[in-house]
Chain A
Amino acid sequence: GAGVSQSPSNKVTEKGKDVELRCDPISGHTALYWYRQSLGQGLEFLIYFQGNSAPDKSGLPSDRFSAERTGGSVSTLTIQRTQQEDSAVYLCASSLVSAGTSNGELFFGEGSRLTVL
């Protein structure tokens, strides 16, 4: 697609439910990143994919959070047994190349706003 696409745009769920957030990166972008942005805060790194593998999962806050990427394209972030503190905007970004290159621009989607009641 023309840009990074995320769905759903908004999700309201009850505490304890599982949610899935989807990211469709720019075609051909091998690197994919998930970030979390709590209300009025900066962006917190969650996980990085290069192709289908995730060499850096250091930002996932707990084992309730997991992510996968298939076909080197679409990625899904899953939050199990959601808690109120999981409420945030989840942003996905993709890049043509990863670290060590001269052009490191990340292209962001519009995010998925998650509200846990």
Chain B
Amino acid sequence: AQSVTQPDIHITVSEGASLELRCNYSYGATPYLFWYVQSPGQGLQLLLKYFSGDTLVQGIKGFEAEFKRSQSSFNLRKPSVHWSDAAEYFCAVGSGGGADGLTFGKGTHLIIQP
């Protein structure tokens, strides 16, 4: 069975500091990996995705993520966070496109300190 683990429930970062959110997955085939962001009471916005090719993927809002097959990880990074980055972040795995539903991690709540 597929699963996603986000080990950090909460992370607090000072504004301007760098950020790394961890994500580990378990998937029986070639994974399609995603990071989504959710503001309170809102839907999900796709930050970036990995399907194949270059293991370092660039997303919106200055985010990037690196796929490491040997570690079954897909960690999200940002060199300098802004107060507007405070939100809930979800890592997800699937088989690609719209063929199958996604399996989500439990999410990481990002708090930005001034």
A binds B: no
Which residues of A are in contact with B by a Cβ distance under 8 Å? none
